[in-house]
Amino acid sequence: MTEVGELTFSRIHQAAPALLFDCMTRPEHLTHFWGPTGTTTPLDGIVVELRPGGRFETTIVGADGGTHTMRAVYAEIDRPHRLVWVEPGVEGGMRTEVTFHDLGDGRTEVVTHQTNVPEAFRRAEARAGFATSLDRFDAYLTTL
């Protein structure tokens, strides 16, 4: 059995919680930033059924043309405060909880907390890749 653990990422964005929530739940936004630097996530590779029990799927295309599909099921939706999904195909059912904290000055702290995270996802390279997707999210927000 693979060892599992937890990860937490926090980022402050110059945007309101509702906009950030919508960016993370609408394919027309997700296509612009989902995945690490050097990848793309085509619009036709994104499925969002925004309801508890609904599907959340993204297919990321790497620079070499290889693909990786993330398949999850939404567990909780509380716009614009909280979004939770579980990836049942990942050993232990990796759970991702995203919370949006309004800082009251036009900024929002977004905290992503993951549990049942396999060791491969906790490696420095994987964490660095996730951080670049947050950078891409920040860059996308400046275009809105």
How does pLDDT run across 37-96, given as a tens digit for each residue?
A: 999 999 999 999 999 999 999 999 999 999 999 999 999 999 999 999 999 977 779 999
Q: How confident is the model at residue 127 (pLDDT cuts 50, 70, 90)?
A: confident
- Nearest-CA neighbor of 139 among 43, 33, 60, 36? 33
**Whole-angstrom distance, CA of residue 127 vs CA of residue 108:** 22
pLDDT at 89: 77
Average pLDDT of the residues in 93-118: 96
- How many Cβ atoms are within 10 Å of 127's Cβ, its own excluded? 12
Are 1 and 91 contacting, i.e. CB atoms less than 8 angstroms apart?
yes
pLDDT at 1: 43
| Residue type, position 107, single letter | R
Q: Is the pLDDT of residue 28 over 50?
A: yes
Q: Please give the backbone phi and psi of residue 103, each rounded to the nearest 5 degrees, phi first.
A: -90, 0
* Secondary structure E strands in 14-107: 46-48, 55-61, 67-78, 82-87, 94-102
Peptide bond into 80 cis (omega under 30): yes
Task: Pick the range with the lowest mean pLDDT from 22-26, 65-69, 93-97, 124-128.
Answer: 124-128
Average pLDDT of the residues in 98-103: 98
Residues 6+ apart with CB under 8 A from 128: none
Q: Is the pLDDT of residue 113 over 70?
A: yes
Average pLDDT of the residues in 106-129: 91
Q: Is the pLDDT of residue 7 over 70?
A: yes
Q: How confident is the model at residue 22 (pLDDT cuts 50, 70, 90)?
A: very high
- Going along the chain from its start, the domains and CATH numbers come out as 4-141 (3.30.530.20)
